[in-house]
Amino acid sequence: MSLVTQINKEKVPQHIAIIMDGNGRWAKKQGENRIYGHYEGVNSVRDVVAAAGEVGVKYITLYAFSTENWNRPKEEVDALMELLVSTITAETPQLNNKNVRLQAIGNLNSLPPACLQELNESIELTSKNTGLTLVLALSYSSKWELISAVKQIAADAKNGLVNIEDITEKNIEQYLCTKHIPDPELMIRTSGEHRISNFLLWQLAYAEFYFTDKLWPDFRKDDLYEAILNYQNRERRFGKTSDQLTQL
């Protein structure tokens, strides 16, 4: 039986977050330079976005470039930014065909102007789509996001717009980049690394984590289905006991 048919459509995570890791190592294994791996990684993005849409996932957030990635060699950063622009331009018609809405989170103003312009155009062109929402995390890090949120809350408190005693979880969420996006139920990281690398620290508080040794350019449709199936076999207790859940 194919993997996709084994998925329980009633229990598909509505939001999957992915740390797409291992492009450089994948390229090195082929005797190529790291940039080649990033190019190949785009094919995995296309595949995974299609697969997510097909099984009814509502949101997919892809960690594409972290705040810390600015510290890579300039040639690699430049190549990644160029790849971003060319991919967004080339893929926008396909996103529209597939009813995918593009969004982005991160310190977007730190992106090169051409990149930001393409991104904003594509976000606008796909804004009416009602299927999957594809969120690109670009120049993103969780600590950057939390610092920005704390600064805005402090400013609002100073201006009398927020009452410090009234601050709640829901309230804080309104100051995050993800304010209109539900928290991910499933977080996938490829390439065998078991760390979170400054990704969605708040939003992943109760996510299920799935790690695979596959390098990102090798991660395709069936790998996503395998991760979803693995997720569906877990018991999410949210602090309760297993008995409490079965008594429902």
Nearer to ligand IPE, 70 or 206 (CB): 70
Rounded distance between C-alpha atoms, residue 170 and residue 172, angstroms? 6
Q: Dig out the tokens for 72 from the structure.
A: 């890579």
Q: Find the shortest distance in angstroms from Cβ 7 to ligand IPE.
A: 25
Q: Find the shortest distance in angstroms from Cβ 69 to ligand IPE.
A: 5
Nearer to ligand IPE, 21 or 226 (CB): 21
Of Mg ion, ligand IPE, none, which one does residue 20 interact with (CB within 5 to 8 Å by kind)?
Answer: ligand IPE
Q: Dig out the tokens for 161 from the structure.
A: 């717009």
Of Mg ion, ligand IPE, none, which one does residue 110 interact with (CB within 5 to 8 Å by kind)?
Answer: none
Contact present, 53 and 132 (Cβ < 8 Å): yes
Handedness of CA 139, 142, 147, 152 (dihedral sign): positive
Contact present, 116 and 149 (Cβ < 8 Å): no
Contact present, 194 and 211 (Cβ < 8 Å): yes
Q: Find the shortest distance in angstroms from Cβ 12 to ligand IPE.
A: 24
Q: Nearest residue by C-beta to ligand IPE?
A: 24
Nearer to Mg ion, 38 or 101 (CB): 38
Q: Find the shortest distance in angstroms from Cβ 21 to Mg ion.
A: 4
- Residue owning tokens 């408190």: 157
User: Which residues are at the interface with ligand IPE (CB under 6 A)?
Assistant: 19-25, 63-66, 68-69, 80, 191, 193, 195, 197, 216
DSSP 45-78: HHHHHHHHHHTT--EEEEEEEEGGGGGS-HHHHH
Instruction: Catalogue the active-site residues.
Output: 21, 69
Contact present, 217 and 47 (Cβ < 8 Å): no
Nearer to Mg ion, 21 or 40 (CB): 21
Q: Find the shortest distance in angstroms from Cβ 225 to Mg ion.
A: 24
Contact present, 22 and 197 (Cβ < 8 Å): no
Long-range contacts of 147-153 (CB under 8 A, 24+ apart): 148/175, 149/175, 149/176
| Residue numbers 7-66 binding Mg ion by CB under 5 A | 21
Nearer to ligand IPE, 162 or 203 (CB): 203
| Residue numbers 94-113 binding Mg ion by CB under 5 A | none
Rounded distance between C-alpha atoms, residue 201 and residue 199, angstroms? 6
The reply on whether position 199 binds Mg ion by CB under 5 A is no
Give CA separation, 22 vs 78, 117, 188, in Å.
Answer: 18, 28, 13
Residues that bind Mg ion (CB under 5 A): 21
